[in-house]
Chain A
Amino acid sequence: MSRWRLGLGGLGVTLALWSSHCGYSDDASDSSGSAGLGGGWAGTSGAAGTGGSGVADSGVGGGAGATAPERELESSFLSPIATGKYVWAANPESGRVALVDAVSYEVRLAEAGDGPTYLAAVPDPDGNAAIVLNARSHDATLFRVDASGALTQLTLETHRGANAWAISPSGRWAIAWTDARRVERADPTDGFQDITVLELTPERERSRILSVGYRPSSIAFAEGERRAFAVTEPGVSVLELEGAAPRVSELVALSDAPLVDTASYDVSITPSGAWALVRQDGSRDVGFVSLETGARVAVPLSGSVTDLDLSADGARAVAVVRERSEVFVLPVPEATTAPERIESVRLQDATVGSVALSYDSSVALLYTNAVESDRLGIVTLSSGPEHLAQRVVAMRAPVSAVFPAPDARHAIVLQGVPSGSAKAGAFSVLSTAQALSPKLVGTDAPPQAVAFQPGALSEHALITVRGDARRQYGVYHVWLGAQQVDYEPLASPPLAAGVVAAANKGYVVQLHPEGRITFIGFDTGEVRTLTGFELGAKVVE
């Protein structure tokens, strides 16, 4: 029985989106976030955008004192791979990749290498492209579908053990790397320091294996794509992409004590590639590290910084100090030289330690999941008379994670259940633009994944629920403007949700040995499920 893997390499896309680490690949196969494809609304390629989401489980994040740390639940959400009207699926056993046409539901198969496993979308102005890491043949296969629908593929060498992707926003560069967090029982001598830089420019495709710092945790590209950065435990390895061949130019330390284990640092790199912003658990400082000069500046705040988000344009960062429920807006990089320009607001009647910043950074949504709290703060960051105005909403159930819609007018709030509830979970539809009562929906299985319709007006969202014990699986289709919620049961456990903007459909990838995906038409509400991708492609005419 063949087994399909659908974009499972896309961990962490939502961190890149909702944490606003723009141009920054937080985790494996995060092409979508950085390239603006898998993340859909955050994308740079317009209508080709697709949404992405994943599963909430453990988290990282900071904390202080005896209170539990904030959990970055959004960061562990899976991202399916979609480009244009296609959803891409890899089958490690058959060595094939399937393209599912979200409009016609046609399935096409393409041969990859041995064990195609980790897929990433590649921005392509002339068509659709994706790249897959072949786990057993230690290479990568690049697929392109041109405007006529013709499919081509090309194989490029990679280092052994690669399990993650970072794709540059233009699609010119792909970097295959090894995420140690995906390797079970890794030996301490396994540094996973090899990375492979692949140039994907048509007719100039090539690959080069380089070595970076010990155990990289993320890869980011600088604006213009002349440089890339690998965040590693000793610091940030700088990759020079221009020139005869890519090379590693230096290792930039993130602190004054570089010998201290830096694994607990939370690092965000600005899209320009000029700055790395650093937060460390228990520290009141926000560190600004120049990736050009190596200079470090610490900006102290009023207490331990429990969360730090960078805006999509990299112009400002939002930091949260939970012990004071205080929010700081730091201009980047002016905060280092003009601390008086740092703004702050203290939320009333709410404890907040985490922030979810809208894509345009006009709204900051503040909450805590370190302790049970149903309070959610909305702070306006856009300029004007409402600048830094705050509103605290009682969500009636403890908040777990918050996802602002791409248009910043709504948000989906995933929640636990209050005591006395017979439900397995809950979520709310929250209007951030209007002072409306949030719509609370109790669910019979825990909410799992969230995906939004991309674009300037996000009208639809999908929320999957999964309860393995009672085999309850389903997806909620949310009409954000009307706060209408429709439920569709699913036949198998959902893995991830996304949006194929070109088809105006959402999709839910499910766990099934033959591969299963359910499409939901946003306009029509039509539900269509495809099972057995390889079987679908074995229709001979």
Chain B
Amino acid sequence: MGLTLGALTGCGDRPARWDASTRLPIESVGLSGAVAVADPALDRVMMLSASSELSLANTPLRVGKNIVAIEPSLDRSTLFVLSRGVQPRLHPDDEHPSLTVIDGGVQPKVTARYSLTDPLQGIALDPEGQWAVVHDAGGLVVNPNELIFVNLQDPSSTPVSKTVRSFGGRPERLTFTSELTVPNGPPRRLLIVETERDVSLIDLSDLTRDEVTVLLPKTPSGATGAPAEVAVHDGAAGARIAVRLENDPNVVLLELGQPPAGDARPFKLLVNVADVGGVPSSIAFVQTDGGLRLAALVPTASRATLIDPSSSFPETVRFPRPFSRLTRVTGDLAAQPAGSDVALLWSPSTAGIAFWSLGKTSGTPYRSVDHYDIGIAVAQVTDIPGEQNAHLKLLESAKGAEFYVLDLNQRQSFPMLTQASGFSLSVSPDGERVWALRSGTRSFARILLSTLHPTSLDVERDVLAVYDVARRDQGRAVIALHASEQAGETSLGATVLDALEPDTARSRFFSGLWLGGLP
């Protein structure tokens, strides 16, 4: 792919790499100090960074052959590039599959490269940065239940292969837990593997230990139960995991319980089932004044069910609207309630939001549900990184030409109108700004979260994406990517502005970025 026939048969004037072309769509990722643009035609990633105002450094980094996935770490400090290598391998020199780790700071570089034995195409990243798990085989003969664990803390380590027991399913979703309390031994982290019909727990502190697999119950209609979502809680009383099932009013509750006396296992998994009275759309563990509860939203009944995980006893909370999603916001509040949570309720199919205070007063399982009738149905709630503006949330509409900035402390929402629909929002890593872009147009805008003041910007070329990155001089740059294709040739450029004081009159355009690093 990407290599033209002319290049292969070449005239001998210049290396064939000059004629290789990465086609649209171009895959790019914003990192803390650079923008990564995949160039699969040349098995490299272009790292665009700014050293000072209006400057742009283009650092091409070689990665494995045949890129299949690029993923940033949660904090966007690191980029992971998964490559299939040469398949099939016909010569000893043919490249193995690999995982390349790239520092996404202001001076990008490859920090590690792990050679893999099999060409896998999925990658799950540990939000705490310790592990990457490569999975999802795509070869002729595949083992779909094989997981490759890469210890990111030790670049010299050899990835560990582990095949989870199969009961007819294959890994669909991987979730890394935080450190969980177990009855036997020190706290440890688990990897939760969801397949179409079961859930497995892998002890990340000892990958040689067999995983624990829970075969899920059948749905009321007799279909095989499939996991749809997991929720995890750790507390002084122990750790719990809840599994929401597709099209099933039952929620599976797992407890990391005490194993029998003399049993060296760290925990004995206890399984429970709780009926929440309707098919839930979202689950989360929440703290109430009455103790820990599993909250399950049942939008078809405009209510939530609070399940006591010990007794499975349900309590019902009625909502004014059929909210289907829940975001716990307790930690983002300036005045945090003691011993109980506050959750934000929203739905992509019904207008409005609500604050759900989960403290318990006499006779009710909750303190209040305060409904706010904003004009949009919320499709996504975006957190603001950093401490300064953590009390703000972006409420995005699926179709509308507006979004809201929600102030959790004041319980006020501020509408931001756009001229047309189809805008995408991104938040700067420092949590100070929001960038709104309608991809494929020349216009984008910056909204300062401290003042909610918008600044509209128009550049000379259509913008593919905008990224707010740190500069080497401690300032911040916004890099607007431009890409176009003509006669099968793709061109890549970028416009650089000062992110703190964006002014199109003080911007600089860089072209021919694909040519960076070519001899």
Q: Which residues of A come within 8 Å of B, CB atoms? A: 1, 101, 104-107, 488-491, 514, 516, 518, 526-532, 535-536, 538-541
Contacts and interface: CB of A to CB of B under 8 A. Distances in A.
Contacts of B268: 104, 106
Interface string B250-293: 00100001111000010011111111000000000000000000
Which of B165, B210, B274 has the most chain A CB atoms closer than 10 A to its own CB? B274
Nearest to A530: B272
A528 B222 CA distance: 28
Interface of B: 165, 167, 210, 212-218, 220, 222, 252, 257-260, 265, 268-275, 310-314
A522 B259 CA distance: 21
Contact of B271 (A104, A489, A526, A535): A535
B215 A529 contact: no
8 contacts: A1-B222, A104-B260, A488-B311, A528-B311, A531-B274, A536-B271, A538-B214, A539-B214
B220 A531 contact: no
Contact of A489 (B214, B257, B265, B313): B313
A529 B311 contact: yes
A539 B271 CA distance: 8
Task: Find the residue from B258, B268, B273 having the highest chain A CB count within 10 A.
Answer: B273
Nearest to B212: A541
A540 B199 CA distance: 10
Given A514-B217, A535-B217, A540-B215, A491 B310 contact: no
Given A107-B271, A539-B213, 7 more contacts: A104-B258, A532-B273, A539-B214, A540-B165, A540-B214, A541-B212, A541-B269
Given A538-B215, A539-B214, A518 B311 contact: yes
Contact of A531 (B257, B258, B269, B273): B273
B214 A1 contact: no
B310 A527 contact: yes
A104 B213 CA distance: 19
Given A491-B274, A491-B275, A541-B265, A529 B310 contact: yes
* Most B CB within 10 A of own CB, among A107, A488, A529, A530: A529
Contacts of B214: 535, 538-540
A149 B213 CA distance: 23
Contacts of B273: 514, 531-532, 535
B272 A532 contact: yes
B377 to A, nearest CB: 33
A531 B313 CA distance: 11
A535 B313 contact: no
Max chain A C-beta neighbours (<10 A), residue from B165, B217, B252, B269:
B217
Contacts of A105: 257, 270
B213 A540 contact: yes
Contacts of A532: 217, 271-273
B241 to A, nearest CB: 12
A104 B218 contact: no
Contacts, number: 83
A489 to B, nearest CB: 5
Contacts of B270: 105-106, 530, 536
A518 B313 CA distance: 10
A358 B174 CA distance: 60
B167 to A, nearest CB: 8
B272 A531 contact: yes
A516 B260 contact: no
A526 B311 CA distance: 9
A539 B253 CA distance: 13
A527 B310 CA distance: 6
B215 A535 contact: yes
Contact of B312 (A1, A106, A529): A529
A489 B272 CA distance: 17
Nearest to A539: B269
B260 A106 contact: yes
A132 B217 CA distance: 25
Given A532-B272, A540-B165, A491 B217 contact: no
Q: What are the 8 tightest A-B residue pairs by CB atom distance, in nearest-first order? A: A529-B312, A538-B215, A531-B273, A532-B273, A540-B213, A536-B271, A527-B311, A491-B312
A27 to B, nearest CB: 31
A535 B219 CA distance: 13
Contacts of A106: 260, 268, 270
A513 to B, nearest CB: 8
A104 B217 CA distance: 22
B212 A529 contact: no
A105 B222 CA distance: 27
A529 B214 CA distance: 18
Contacts of B215: 535, 538-540
A108 to B, nearest CB: 11
User: Among the interface residues A101, A491, A536, which one has the most CB atoms of the partner chain B within 10 A?
Assistant: A491
Contacts of A531: 272-274, 312
A539 B310 CA distance: 19
Contacts of B310: 526-529
A541 B212 CA distance: 5
Contacts of B218: 1
Contacts of A104: 257-260, 268
A527 B290 CA distance: 14
A489 B270 CA distance: 21
A540 B167 CA distance: 10
B309 to A, nearest CB: 9
Contacts of B165: 540
A514 B220 CA distance: 11
B271 A541 contact: no
Contacts of A514: 217, 273
A536 B222 CA distance: 18
A277 B397 CA distance: 81
Nearest to B270: A105
A107 B259 CA distance: 12
A115 to B, nearest CB: 19
A541 B198 CA distance: 13
